[in-house]
């Protein structure tokens, strides 16, 4: 992929960046209110009415347009769309403008050498490069990344509420064709066990189940909570302890049979390597912000494969990022081991693309066409924009 002749490819001449907020659908807000908060155990205090995104349009000198989307949330990513845009405006754009998108390895190296962390901002630009490469070559982005599976099984997200309500919601998705559920847990080990018991009573072994604690427990509590639900056959337990507690993750993983996955506490390739070396994870979580774009995601997925760890692609993003993650899953489908979870199409009022992605029957279909195979809905972008578009051009 990186060996393609970048000298003959059109150069990137402009980057346009827009901050947006897309509200949750009313049914999602109702589910959150029934849970007494956010539908999960994360100890955030502020209301969560929708998702915050930065949208990128990257244009080359031939007029091809590459799209990127970075979805962020203060309690998890610690940044905002406006901050992402400002990092790109002040520091990162200079390493992209004038380059070929096929020089993504050099672009990523220069961004890393000159700007610490900022994975969401770097990933936004890297994502747009891959869409642009597909547009230049007239090929789907998954083929640019090395493979193509047409259909990808999906997991359904079930928010934390009472066991009866969670089973009711899960049944809707199972009836639609989903065969994997991600359950939000974390109020107490007794309540967690009651929810799992109710799920297995309803569905038996016809569904796979993974759980997400959103940092609910101390390491000692997490061991007891996970052991309490292990009799119900759990694929993966996500982020049971505080995001920064890598040692705590290792403490838990060494004492439970279930593979752990980090989310709030895992942003970079070095985070993934450190958690692996500590023995703190048994599965690797990937989205467009973690570990930051397609180039880093592909490296993380290859690392996971080398270490015989499963890979979970998941996010609640809008249409551009969802399409990118479907292409990523398609390119490395044989390595995944787990259904992907893209729930923005259920949760959000709008997906910012002109034609919806096909998720029917609990299966994601790879969008047809070059690059991500989706087109930005300019009217929707204008509707949900929270500030002016920042336009950066090659001098």
Contacts of 278 (CB under 8 A, 6+ apart): 246, 247, 249, 250
Q: Alpha-carbon distance 251 to 278, whole Å?
A: 9
Cβ distance 138 to 45 under 8 Å?
A: no
Tokens of 350: 């709008």
pLDDT in tens, 230-282: 999 999 999 999 999 999 999 999 999 999 999 999 999 999 999 999 999 99
pLDDT at 118 over 80: yes
Q: What is the mean pLDDT of residues 162-173?
A: 96
The structure's pTM equals 0.96
Tokens of 142: 């998954």
Cβ distance 126 to 292 under 8 Å?
A: yes
Cβ distance 289 to 71 under 8 Å?
A: yes
Predicted local distance difference test score (pLDDT) of residue 29:
86
The Cα angle at residue 247 between residues 242 and 250, in degrees rounded to 5:
100
Stretch (H or E) spanning 297: helix 293-306
Predicted local distance difference test score (pLDDT) of residue 6:
54
Cα–Cα distance list, 350 to 46, 84, 122, 199, 331 (Å): 22, 22, 25, 31, 27
Tokens of 209: 């189940």
Q: Alpha-carbon distance 298 to 328, whole Å?
A: 8
Contacts of 327 (CB under 8 A, 6+ apart): 130, 140, 141, 142, 145, 366, 367, 372, 373
Name all domains of the chain by residue range, CATH numbers in brackets.
Answer: 6-139+376-393 (3.30.390.10), 144-365 (3.20.20.120)
**139: number of CA atoms within 13 Å, CB side?**
13
Task: Give which of 153, 133, 160 is closest to 3, Cα–Cα.
Answer: 133
Q: What is the mean pLDDT of residues 201-221?
A: 97
Q: What is the mean pLDDT of residues 309-333?
A: 97
Cβ distance 53 to 39 under 8 Å?
A: no
Q: How many residues does the chain have?
A: 395
Tokens of 96: 């992209």
Q: Alpha-carbon distance 369 to 326, whole Å?
A: 13
Residue 23 DSSP SS3: strand
Predicted local distance difference test score (pLDDT) of residue 3:
43
Cβ distance 199 to 181 under 8 Å?
A: yes
pLDDT in tens, 65-88: 999 999 999 999 999 999 999 999
Contacts of 116 (CB under 8 A, 6+ apart): none
Strand 341-342 to strand 310-315: parallel, antiparallel, or no bridges (unpaired)? parallel
Contacts of 248 (CB under 8 A, 6+ apart): 218, 219, 222, 241, 242
pLDDT in tens, 3-32: 444 557 899 999 999 999 999 999 888 877
Cβ distance 158 to 170 under 8 Å?
A: yes
Q: Alpha-carbon distance 299 to 304, whole Å?
A: 9
pLDDT at 2 over 50: no
Contacts of 159 (CB under 8 A, 6+ apart): 31, 32, 35, 39, 40, 166, 169, 184
């Amino acid at each position: 992929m990186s060996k393609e002749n970048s000298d003959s490819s059109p150069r990137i001449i402009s980057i346009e960046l827009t901050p947006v907020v897309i509200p949750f659908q009313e049914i999602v807000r109702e589910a959150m209110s029934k849970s007494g908060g956010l539908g999960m155990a994360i100890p955030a205090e502020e209301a969560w009415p929708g998702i915050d995104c930065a949208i990128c349009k990257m244009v080359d000198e031939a007029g091809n347009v590459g799209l990127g989307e970075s979805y962020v949330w203060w309690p998890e990513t610690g940044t905002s769309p406006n901050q992402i845009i400002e990092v790109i405006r002040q520091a990162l754009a200079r390493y992209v403008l004038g380059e070929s998108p096929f020089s993504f390895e050099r672009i990523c190296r220069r961004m890393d050498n000159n700007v610490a962390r900022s994975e969401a901002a770097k990933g936004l630009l890297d994502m747009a490069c891959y869409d642009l490469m597909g547009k230049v070559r007239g090929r789907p982005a998954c083929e640019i990344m090395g493979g193509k599976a047409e259909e990808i099984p999906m997991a359904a997200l079930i928010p934390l509420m009472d066991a009866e309500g969670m089973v009711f919601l899960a049944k809707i998705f199972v009836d639609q064709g989903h065969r994997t559920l991600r359950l939000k847990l974390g109020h107490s080990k007794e309540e967690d066990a009651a929810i799992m018991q109710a799920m297995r009573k309803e569905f038996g072994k016809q569904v796979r189940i993974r759980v997400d604690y959103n940092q609910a427990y101390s390491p000692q509590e997490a061991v007891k909570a996970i052991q309490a639900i292990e009799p119900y056959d759990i694929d993966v337990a996500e982020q049971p302890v505080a995001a920064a507690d890598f040692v705590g993750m290792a403490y838990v993983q060494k004492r439970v049979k279930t593979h752990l996955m980090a989310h709030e506490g895992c942003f970079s390739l070095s985070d993934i390597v450190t958690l692996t070396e500590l023995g703190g994870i048994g599965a690797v979580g990937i989205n467009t912000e973690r570990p930051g774009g397609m180039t880093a995601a592909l490296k993380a997925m290859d690392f996971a494969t080398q270490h015989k760890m499963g890979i979970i692609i998941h996010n609640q993003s809008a249409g551009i990022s969802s399409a990118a993650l479907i292409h990523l899953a398609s390119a490395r489908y044989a390595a995944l081991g787990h259904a992907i979870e893209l729930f923005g199409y259920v949760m959000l009022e709008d997906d910012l693309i002109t034609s919806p992605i096909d998720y029917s029957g609990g299966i994601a279909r790879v969008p047809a066409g070059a690059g991500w195979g989706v087109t930005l809905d300019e009217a929707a972008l204008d509707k949900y924009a929270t500030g002016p578009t920042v336009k950066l051009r090659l001098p």
